[in-house]
Every structure is written in C-alpha cells, then in structure tokens.
A and B are shown apart, each in its own frame.
Chain A
Amino acid sequence: MSHIPVAERRTKIISREQVFQWLAQLAGEMDLVAPIDVDGYIFYRKIDDADEVVLDYTKPVLSIKDVFFPPTDKLFLIEQPAGELKILPPAHSTKQVLFGVRPCDARGLQVLDAVFINTEPSDPYYTQRRDNSILIGMACHEMGATCFCTEMGSSPDDARDMDLMLTEVDGGYTLESITERGSQLLKRFSLALDDFSTKNTAESALPISRYPYPSQERWLDHFSDNYWEDMAERCLSCRACAYVCPTCRCFDVRDEIQTGDDGSQIYARIRCWDSCTGYAYRRIAGGHNPRPENAQRLRNRLYCKFFYFSQQYGPDACTGCGRCIDVCPVGVDITEVLQQIAGITVGEQNNPEEVGVL
C-alpha cells in the first residue's frame, strides 16, 4: 500500500550554513518551532535562537501534535465582573513555521485534520493553528529501530504533507518546494525560487513491507479473541502510548479556577488530553463503566487505530512512528498486534535484510 505520487517538484541544493542562515531569518520574523536537544532528548520546541536547532536526529520524543492540539488547551475564559457573566473566546493563534518535521508527524496532522477540520463542525482552535502554520519537513536518512511508516503507506522521505522538504545529500540539503504556500515563504527570504530546477521526482523506492497489512475483515473476525486478554495482562493503563501518539486526540473538558492577584476569580474552560486506555475514560456519573477491563480498553485503542477511525473519518489513525513501542513500559508492540491480526505468528517475519532499507 506504500505509494508516493510522482510530482513535479522544484528543488535546489543548499548548504548546512545556508540552512542555519535561513532559520535565523525565519526566527526573526515569526514563531519558529524546531527540534532541539533537551538534556539528550530531542523535542520540537518554540525557539528564539536558530543555533539551537539540531539537524541530526531520528525522531523527537513527542510528536508535532502538541503544537496544534496542546496537552491542555484553554477554550475560553469566564469572567463574572459585578455579577454579569461574560464568556471570552481565546486569542487567535499567530503565524508560525515548523521546521524539521518528520514525515510520520506530518502524516499525523492529516489524521487529526480528518477529525478537527474535514469533519463538520470544524474545530476552531486546531484549524486556526493549522492555517497559521507552514511545515518544513526533514526526510529521515534511516528508519529508527521501532519505525514502521512504510507499513502505514508512508516513507522516510514522504513529502506529501509538507510545504517544503529538506533531504540530506552530499554537500548539504536538497530543498524542495511542495506547495504554493512553501514557494511563497521562500520568496520572502534569500532562497528565491528563480534558481530552483524543476525535476520529476520518481516514485520512491520503498522498503519491502515486513508483513501483510490486515484487512478490515480480519479485524472484524478477531474482536472476541482471547488474545486481547493475554495482551492486557501486561497493560498498566498508563496512557503513555496515547500521549506520544501523533494521532490520538481524545480529550476531557472541565473548568479551572484561576485566582488573580487581587483575589478575583476567573474560570477557564480547558480541554486536556485523555486516552481510552484509562480506567475512568468511559465511566459515567452514576458509576456505570462499559469498559472496566484492561483488555476492553486496549482493544478499543487498537481497533480505533486500524478499524473504527477509518470508518468514522477516512484514514487509519496510525502513522507508523513507533513512539508507542518506544515508551510502553511493559513492551506492548503495535506491530505485533498487526501481525497477529494479519495471521502471522510473531517472530515468523520476512527476511530481516529487507527491513529498514531505503
């Protein structure tokens, strides 16, 4: 199912120094979010100093989703001056450039777009941030140990969802302009489009999939398997998988009371990340909980990823970034689940030589 469309793209090669000069210009004009090193871990962060940006990294610990769908998002404020209640909508988001975005994370935004933008009614908080953002992608030069984007229809150099794309080559980086918005951004900086060459990017040579991707019928057939209970014996319901996931978007809504210096109180309606693997996720006020068992909740998350979500919104809710495998404290591996549903005994894989080759 891996497929990169053949597209006419405009490219040029720029040096590492030019990349940093450009980043400095960008940081001077608008908010810049880019991968930086925080105590040995890579995170996408809003930065002021372009020199902080790292160019050599596999994938940031957290996905880019936080920028568009923050862990805690203020929906509005509720003021009660002299008894008269007023609802204050949030300020609009500002223009920003996201640099060094990995293809799996840009794919993740397409998945979130399907919920928050393309399904009516659109979500204004997410949509405004998307509208105000330009994505500059960075191709991965190799797949990480837990990466499986190629199983999910993408690839380490998938530029589809970017505005501009950088790929490391001998002597610097290939800069490709993917969208009109990307071209417009270049025009405003020293990287003028006039010396870009037009090239036909051939279909990328993708690594061979490790196992067949399970069909929708197979998911239907395996819903009542004991497998889920076996898996869930390990699951701690810690929700780490959902928090690092570029596509998990479930949330909780409640009010917070903020007290000003003068003692006056203002309420904030906030939404926070939540996950269907948590015990209380479905529990209602009367105490009824339709999913009290770990196995039911773990199964729901995995069915959402590969079965429910596509029926509700279109795409699968997994980009193959592998972060859930990285963080799971008890070794639940989403690719093992795919193999199980596809009917392949775990360990009985294709030739490992074919894995992770670009």
Chain B
Amino acid sequence: MTAVTHNDMLPELGALATIKELGAEIKLFSVRLLNGGRQDYLPGQFAFLSAFGVGEAPFGIASARDNGGTLDFAIQRLGSVTTRLHELGEGDIIGIRGPLGNCFPMEQFKGKNLIVLGGGIGGAPLRPVIQTVLKQRSEYGQLTILWAARHPSLLVFTDEYDEWREAPDTKLHLTVDQPDSKWDHNVGLITELLERVAPEPENAVTITCGPPIMIYHVNKMLVERLGYLPEQNYVTLEARMHCGLGKCGRCNLGEKLVCVDGPVFTMNDVGEMLESYL
C-alpha cells in the first residue's frame, strides 16, 4: 500500500497582510504565507481558507502570480466561514490550503481576443486573468471586460477600472440591475450589454464567472445570437466542496468533480455533463 508522506487536509498558516473594503459586505484579503509558501498558482485555481474555530471554505484566488508575496481573495460575507473572516483584522492568522483545481489555459488564449464577463463576486477569479493579460499585453488580442452586479455597491475592484480602461486594446463595460443616483453606466442584464458590445466570434474566447443563471444565459446569448461555439466559452463553476481533493464527493456534476475536473470548463464540457450545473 501507499506510504503516506503528505497530508493535504492540513492547512498552512497565513497572515492577513492587508484587508480592504471592496464593496457592500465584500472585502479583499491579502494573505502572506508564514513559511514563504507556494507562488506557482495559476489563474482560475482556488484555495481553501480556514477561519479557525468555524471551518474552511473554497475561494477562487483573486490575484495573479508575483503579487508581492501575497495571495488575494475577494470575499463576500455570506456564510459562517466568511462571516468569521470578515471579523478578523490585519495581522490575524488564518489557514490556507492550495492551490487546487485546474486553471484557465492562458497560453492557449495568446493571440486571441478575450471577452471577460464577471457577475458580482464572480469577478474575483477573473481578476488574475485580467492581470495576466495586462502584464503581457502584446501577447493577447483585444480585451473586452463586461462587469456586472445587482447594484453598484456590489461591483468589485472599482479602483482598478482606470488601469483597465487605460491599457491598450482594452475596453471595460459596466452594468447594474439597480442603479443608484450616481450611476452613469449601463443599466440592465449583462446579456443585453453583451449583445451590443461583443466582438466577432472569429479568433475569440469568452471567460465567464458569476451566478449559474448568468453563466447559462451568457452562453445562450453567445451561441444562439452571436455565433460563438460552446467550446469558445470558458467558465469557472462554483460548487459546495469540503476537501478540494476529489474525496468528499460533494461537488459532483454527474460523473465530473468540480474540484479536480474543474473548476474551469468549456461550455462544451458542461453541455456533455449528465447533470445540470444550474
């Protein structure tokens, strides 16, 4: 039998280096691993964060590599683990396990036009994609970012929008369902915005993260109205999971496990799954 050399359920310890308010009940946590830690994570991968005494939960890593020795996580307060994380302060210690899961094939994306669609906190795992493209801007084609939320207060990374807008060949489109008095961008669903601004499907890929219903309608719009093929449409799926290692069984979509077969899929893969992700 196999000799056990490693325990993947044991977290490493990390300090909350900085905590920034990102929006309503949303904070950006920068975590510095106490032992130096792994820096070989890739856009689309996730990690489990432990709030000791409560438990742990998976979060998409919200920063690309070389983030000054820290990993960023954009976390909305929703459940017990996120509530505890929101109560912590800078310098407090948390646990971190990862990186886990597959990643966006950034090498394959080179030379292509990219459409990045983020819905609410779903924008978090897309930030490393945007950062990677902006860092090697000439390697990729046009970058079109569609950023959506129910309300302006739920839009994430607002203080980075100017940098995104100013990058060459890069466009940012914002939309919300419920505008406030200061809102001067689009109002309405991300699919309506997408129909108006989407580039031609030739040599393009789309990358979407958001609520399942948004993923469904974005893909439907792309395929049925805009001429995209499902294999051009990349998504990262969220699922309840408790190990990230293909053991706990919780994140199955039919015979696929989101933690080890994903979280990144093309809509072609998703369409072949026996069970719906919705």
Contact = CB atoms under 8 A, between A and B. Distances in A.
Interface of A: 75-76, 78, 80, 85, 87, 89, 115-119, 121-125, 127-128, 130-131, 220, 223, 249-255, 257, 265, 267, 269, 271, 274, 276, 281-286, 288, 290, 300, 303-304, 307-308, 311-312
B225 interface: no
Interface string B1-41: 11010111111010000000000000000000000000000
A251 B240 contact: no
Contacts of A267: 52-53
A79 to B, nearest CB: 10
A218 B276 CA distance: 19
A251 B4 contact: no
Contacts of A78: 52-53
A252 B78 CA distance: 18
25 contacts: A80-B52, A87-B95, A117-B1, A121-B6, A121-B8, A123-B247, A249-B247, A251-B249, A252-B242, A253-B56, A255-B50, A255-B54, A269-B56, A281-B250, A282-B250, A285-B78, A285-B79, A285-B82, A288-B211, A290-B276, A290-B278, A304-B252, A308-B254, A312-B246, A312-B255
B254 A303 contact: yes
B1 A130 contact: yes
Interface in B231-274: 238-240, 242-243, 245-250, 252, 254-255, 257, 274
Interface string B44-57: 00000010111111
B250 A89 contact: no
Contacts of A117: 1-2
Given A75-B9, A308-B254, A312-B257, A303 B274 contact: yes
A311 B275 contact: no
Nearest to B84: A255
Interface of B: 1-2, 4, 6-11, 13, 50, 52-57, 78-79, 81-82, 93, 95, 211-212, 238-240, 242-243, 245-250, 252, 254-255, 257, 274-278
A105 B4 CA distance: 24
A76 B249 CA distance: 21
Contact of A255 (B52, B238, B275): B52
A315 to B, nearest CB: 14
B211 A116 contact: no
A119 B2 CA distance: 11
Contact of B10 (A76, A128, A223, A276): A76
A324 to B, nearest CB: 17
Nearest to B212: A288
B17 to A, nearest CB: 16
B4 A128 contact: yes
* 10 nearest A-B residue pairs (beta carbon): A285-B79, A250-B249, A285-B78, A254-B55, A308-B255, A124-B4, A253-B242, A311-B255, A124-B7, A121-B8
Contact of A284 (B1, B95, B240, B254): B240
Contacts of B249: 249-251, 276, 304
B246 A119 contact: yes
Contacts of B238: 284
A302 to B, nearest CB: 13
A342 to B, nearest CB: 19
Given A282-B240, A288-B211, A290-B276, A85 B52 contact: yes
A214 B95 CA distance: 45
Contacts of A282: 239-240, 250
A288 B240 CA distance: 10
A354 B71 CA distance: 64
A290 B212 contact: yes
Given A78-B53, A118-B2, 5 more contacts: A119-B247, A284-B238, A285-B81, A288-B212, A290-B278
Contacts of B278: 290
Contacts of B243: 251, 253
Contacts of B212: 288, 290
A284 B239 contact: yes
Contacts of A128: 4
Contacts of B277: 290
B247 to A, nearest CB: 6
Contacts of B9: 75-76, 123-125, 253, 269
Nearest to A118: B2
Among B57, B249, B252, the one with the most A-chain Cβ atoms within 10 Å of its Cβ is B249
B257 A254 contact: no
Contacts of B13: 85, 87
A249 B247 CA distance: 8
B274 A220 contact: yes
Contacts of A123: 9, 245, 247
Contacts of B211: 286, 288
Contacts of A288: 211-212
